[in-house]
């Protein structure tokens, strides 16, 4: 018997989402395993029921298929519930009854299971992942990389047809041009006729009269090709870039994707903080007291940094337009954090001068 989630929560089939939520909270509070007199098994049933009925899509699917395979009747099984959360009524699929054998298309079933609306999912090539290392400056301003990738690609000679140029297409002898193969099996539940895509012609129903000498009729060959990777400004270390359709090709299907993981080399003196760049500037104690000018190396080249008299340790100087480029074209700031270096050794003259400053209250 299929589970009756409405009965589990004690609500009727027309209950609103608020009714379902209230019922769940009441029952969850009552049967929680941590409470005295709680029931872990019952608590799991309540959670399962709420997980389905609180989701509009799952609830609609449950209302349609949830009570199939409810037992006996007539000539054969009423439905199938092979996966929790998926219940199929075989009469929904093409050729429900064919000479006593129950026929269904595996592509239809898996399309229904994975959100395909009852249609078989299209064939798709494998995804590929590679790693690319770039400099810190390239990550900030963006760059382009050309990398060699060895993968399955469309055969250049036959353009993916699988046949020698000029050859004709003939009916596939394996499936007799239907593109699908029907196989009948008998089990304790009855006789089932499964329909699968023909492996010889991959569902096309035809094959080239003369296979391509380059790819052997596969339409696909493994080769090394160059992939152009555009790395946008502001890239973070470890971020991924996806190139749609740049993965492995597959005959009569869609190519997979190429995933590029970007590794950014650390800079010796600059760090990234959002759209800003941060660096340290070490200055002498005398310049902290009297002021001065320092030159630092930014990603744009040398930059002069004025030091105001009496600047304190840890003070931050912001230089606009020297940071990370944003999507609007504007750049963040270069934030310079001042660190006052205290002298480790003082000459007798320096000590005397500092003593005089001390007497003046400095």
Q: Which residue has the higher pLDDT, 144 or 173?
A: 144
pLDDT tier, 59 (very low <50, low <70, confident <90, very high otherwise): confident
**Pairwise pLDDT comparison (157 vs 192), residue with the higher score:** 157
Q: Note the pLDDT of residue 353.
A: 87
Domains and CATH numbers, the chain: 5-113 (1.10.287.110), 123-162+219-266 (2.60.260.20), 270-341 (2.60.260.20)
How many CB atoms lie under 10 A from the CB of residue 236? 9
Q: Nearest-CA neighbor of 312 among 342, 288, 278?
A: 288
pLDDT value at residue 74: 37
2 falls in which pLDDT band (50, 70, 90)?
low
Per DSSP, the residues of 37-103 read: T--HHHHHHHHHHHHHHTSHHHHHHHHHHTT-S-S--SSS-S-EEEETTEEE-GGGSSSS-BTTBEE
Assign 60 a pLDDT band (cuts: 50, 70, 90): confident
Predicted confidence at residue 190, as pLDDT, reads 66
Whole-number average pLDDT of the chain: 81
Instruction: Give pLDDT, residue 357.
Output: 83
- What's the CA gap between 324 and 274, in Å, rounded? 8
Q: Region 85-96: what's the mean pLDDT?
A: 43
Q: Can you give the pLDDT at residue 18?
A: 87
- pTM over the 0.85 mark: no
pLDDT, tens only, 325-356: 988 889 999 999 999 999 888 899 988 888 88
188 band by pLDDT with thresholds 50, 70 and 90: low
Predicted confidence at residue 69, as pLDDT, reads 29
What is the phi/psi pair of residue 271, to 5°? Answer: -125, 160
Q: Classify residue 16 by burial, with Cβ atoms within 10 Å: 0-12, 13-18, 19+.
A: exposed
Q: Per-residue pLDDT for 113 more than 70?
A: no
From 104-113, 196-205, 212-221, 322-331, the region with the lowest mean pLDDT: 104-113
In whole angstroms, give the CA distance from residue 87 to residue 196.
21
pLDDT at residue 290 in the model = 92
- Most confident of the ranges 19-23, 37-41, 95-99, 134-138: 134-138
pLDDT winner (highest mean) among 28-37, 179-188, 267-276: 267-276
């Amino acid at each position: 018997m299929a589970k009756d989630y409405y009965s589990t929560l004690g609500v009727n089939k027309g209950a609103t989402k608020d009714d379902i939520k209230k019922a769940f909270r009441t029952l969850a509070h009552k049967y929680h395993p941590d409470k005295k007199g709680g029931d872990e098994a019952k608590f799991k049933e309540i959670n399962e029921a709420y997980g389905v009925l609180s989701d509009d899509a799952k609830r609609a699917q449950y209302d349609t298929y949830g009570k199939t395979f409810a037992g006996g009747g007539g000539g054969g099984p009423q439905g199938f519930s092979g996966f929790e959360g998926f219940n199929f009524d075989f009469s929904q699929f093409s050729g429900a009854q064919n000479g006593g054998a129950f026929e269904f298309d595996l592509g239809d079933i898996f399309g229904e299971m994975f959100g395909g609306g009852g249609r078989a999912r299209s064939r798709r090539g494998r995804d590929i992942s590679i790693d690319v290392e770039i400099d810190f400056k390239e990550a900030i301003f963006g760059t382009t990389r050309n990398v060699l990738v060895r993968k399955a690609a469309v055969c250049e000679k036959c353009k993916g047809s699988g046949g020698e140029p000029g050859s004709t297409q003939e009916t596939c002898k394996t499936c007799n041009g239907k593109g699908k193969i029907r196989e009948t099996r008998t089990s304790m539940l009855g006789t089932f006729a499964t329909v699968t895509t023909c492996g010889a012609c991959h569902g096309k129903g035809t094959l080239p009269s003369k296979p391509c000498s380059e790819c052997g009729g596969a339409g696909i060959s493994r080769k090394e090709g160059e992939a152009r990777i555009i790395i946008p400004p502001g890239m973070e270390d470890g971020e991924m870039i996806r190139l749609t359709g740049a993965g492995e090709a597959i005959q009569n299907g869609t190519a997979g994707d190429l995933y590029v993981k970007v590794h950014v080399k650390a800079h010796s003196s600059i760090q990234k903080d959002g759209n800003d760049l941060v660096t340290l500037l070490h200055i002498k104690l005398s310049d902290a007291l009297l002021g001065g000018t320092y030159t630092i190396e930014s990603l744009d080249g040398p930059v002069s940094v004025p030091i105001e008299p009496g600047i304190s340790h840890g003070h931050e100087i912001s230089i606009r337009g020297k940071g990370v480029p944003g999507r609007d074209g504007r750049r963040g700031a270069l934030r310079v954090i001042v660190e006052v270096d205290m002298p480790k050794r003082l000459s007798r003259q320096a000590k005397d001068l500092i003593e005089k400053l001390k007497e003046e209250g400095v």
